[in-house]
Amino acid sequence: MNKKIQLQDLGNKDYKATWEYQEELFKGIVDLKIQNRREELELATPNYFLFVEHPHVYTLGKSGDLTNLLLSEKQLEAKGATFYKINRGGDITYHGPGQIVGYPIIDLENFFTDIHKYLRLLEESIILTLQEYGLACGRSEGETGVWLGVGTPFARKICAMGVRASRWVTMHGFALNVNVDLGYFDNIIPCGIKGKAVTSLNVELGVDRVNEKEVKEKILHHFKNLFECTLVKE
């Protein structure tokens, strides 16, 4: 069981290019697992954790409803945004500047074979991070991601999640709003959930800007502890 995870920070990178890179890493792990099984080998499968920030883009999960995108193709162009239908779970979401996106591409057989546990630990790494900033946050029953004001009329989502898994290998992940222009969420019904708002860390803290590098370090600290792994920076 290889509990070493290679950490890569891709900076600001186009969504489609990043998706293709994810698929490349994902396929490499799956192919190695197939080879191990066919040839009765025990070669260690690698694990990756990608940090990235995307230019303005809307993505729709495989179970999503296209009507949750409230913009036409021309309106998307006018806003400098792109749109993709993708192969993760979940509905529609937005990615853009000021958002920390994390894509763990890991072989869960190196850790545990439970996709629900995986999602809960991903959520927990964000919850513990936000608690360090004094925010009371948690889960909303029946909805993935991390929320503030759960159980009140002011429930608001601060972190969206959507993953894909095959042969216990994961891809896609989470998107935490840190310094995001929330106006871009007005163009969709986020995650297909009507009547609930979206928020950003800087808004909740009442500051112009939060140090994103610091937030990433906190996320990695909690992720490392929860998954009992070793993170290796590339």
100 marked as binding residue: no
Cβ-proximal residues to 4 (8 Å cutoff; 6+ apart), any chain: 46, 47, 229, 230, 232
Residue positions annotated with a catalytic role = 191
174 marked as binding residue: yes
Give the ranges where 40-93 is alpha helix by DSSP (H).
73-78
158 marked as binding residue: no
107 marked as binding residue: no
Q: Counting Cβ atoms within 10 Å, is residue 186 exposed (0-12), middle (13-18) or buried (19+)?
A: exposed
17 marked as binding residue: no
d(CA 20, CA 40): 30
* Dihedral sign for Cα atoms in the order 64, 128, 222, 201: positive
145 marked as binding residue: no
Q: Counting Cβ atoms within 10 Å, is residue 143 exposed (0-12), middle (13-18) or buried (19+)?
A: middle
Q: Where does the chain show beta strands of DSSP type E?
A: 4-12, 48-53, 57-60, 82-85, 92-95, 99-105, 137-140, 143-148, 156-166, 169-177, 197-198, 230-233
93 marked as binding residue: yes
106 marked as binding residue: no
171 marked as binding residue: no
What backbone phi and psi angles, to 5 degrees, belong to 165? Answer: -140, 140
3-class SS of residue 171: strand
175 marked as binding residue: yes
160 marked as binding residue: yes
Joined together, the tokens standing for residue 220 give: 């990695």
89 marked as binding residue: yes
Q: Which residues are annotated as a binding site for substrate?
A: 88-95, 160-162, 173-175
Binding-site residue numbers are 88-95, 160-162, 173-175
